[in-house]
Structure 1
């Protein structure tokens, strides 16, 4: 298949053009035009529109592999990310970019694993402080996306010891893309950011040794939470009229974490947080925190007939 998701094409037999938003099989693709309707068409019945450049016609500087020396005090050793952003023209398509904020040159590969069928999607060099598009997919097909296998080697012409190679397997879930978008470094566009080189947990051996000799503390009893937790400040504090916005947010988040931890301890199947609609600040922060919690299977807007858009239901593992 010579076409990729996000390619801009024109129909051979009709006065129509649009973006490739689905690869159906080796012969068929889906093309979405200005009316947002996707039309199945034979790949042989469309052609590239010459002169169109994806991502606004920007040329990616990551093809330049000449490494510019960095001062030792400025040499950045960490900062390898996957940035996922929607296509500028076809919002149903997302593009994966490997973002290198380090001072190392990266030799990176991406392989997909779909039910034990492996396919090399990308292999190349990524210069320091640059990004490279490595994969594209239909966001609506997230549930059937393959497993992603990332392998990254670090290299520098300077006298710097490289980190250990990265080998990471990731199966993305809906909750990974339910959090608020943020500005993606080097790309200057909004999207979702996943860090690949998470810093290692450093264990202080002396403190660990000392903890063995500490006197036992009284066992903490965690009360079982109710299934619906109301986070409206008037339900939590009587003096809420005297609190500023940051104090209110901190109180609500503390109550949220306490209830969520209790639900996990008591192995509840789910719990609902009532946060109200408002300007969405509390809702967005809850979703951001839930998206990072490994004990959360997924979350969604709760029963709309009862809560409108003012509550989130959390399904626990």
Structure 2
């Protein structure tokens, strides 16, 4: 019998997973409702592989059932953005935003000057963005090295199940320019956070600005394929602005304890949200709370994620392990939070 094995109690209906071996021939198991209980080894029996497979199928990662294609009306055809969200006053995270009603299979990469001349490409991320969804990249981009930021390259397709018009692939290069980048601070769609953004599919959108406005190449902060040159004097002026002169970062300081249970996030009920939708909500809340905790100078923050299947805890720990601003993380005080919370100490 090993940690992680599925087991059943001989004289009770409970079944669970072996989580720890205790002194005195006792074993701690995690049962379905998330609690961990000590049980004598002699009172446990291993669950057969067939039964264990049935347990795994209750995971929130269970694939969605395929529904016969029937494309609903498309309400939004445009809305692909690159967004830069301030982590603090020194760094930004990069997000790809899909605020359309189309699925958006994509690749995202960087182009920079190669040491021997020419251009070097580096892939950052690929995947499929669902409608009204976003993907955060792993790298952080320093404000002080703005002039060295690469040219970002986005390639994407458009997909709708059922009958839909064929759309040309999207291929865009974006080079941030100080003259326009810092003027585009706004509330980023989908994320609903303050940041700087550029719309990649704006050329296909219906113009909403008066004809006397600046050319579209200026309004979109450099979404044309040809990179433009950053003006160092503009960057320097922006960096030397006092906090009173600049718009400043609107950072909402989160609570020191953030409950990620769906009943806490959605007190009025989950409605028609699928398990995948609920997981996305939990992860987005986690990301936003962690970034705001870092930006507002908090020393630590605790996330209550529960036990359950362990999928949410595993994903949180995976993200925390890669985060450059996390000093360390650990199980929170069990006397106060039980076994379903993680305390994060920030650098």
Structure 2 length as normaliser, TM-score? 0.38
Work out which structure has the larger RCO, using CA pairs closer than 8 Å and 6 or more positions apart in sequence: 2
Structure 1 length as normaliser, TM-score? 0.42
